[in-house]
Amino acid sequence: MAKQIQEILIDDLDGGEADETVTFAIDGSSYEIDLSNPNAKKLRDALAPFVQHARRESASTARGARGRTRGGTRTMSREKSTAIRKWAKAHGLPVSERGRIAATVVEKYEASH
Bridge partner list, 32? 23
pLDDT at position 99, please?
84
Nearest to 69 by CA among 99, 104, 28: 28
How many structural domains compose the chain? 2
Assessment of whether the complete model's pTM goes beyond 0.75: no
- In this prediction, the residues of the chain whose per-residue pLDDT falls under 70 are 59-75
Residue 68, pLDDT score = 46
pLDDT, residue 33, reads 94
In CATH, what number is assigned to the domain containing residue 45? 3.30.60.230
Task: Show the domain range for 82.
Answer: 78-112
- Tell me the three-class secondary structure of 5-42, residue by residue: CCCCCECCCCCCECCEEEEEEECCEEEEEEECHHHHHH
pLDDT reported for residue 15: 95
Same domain flag for 28 and 3? yes
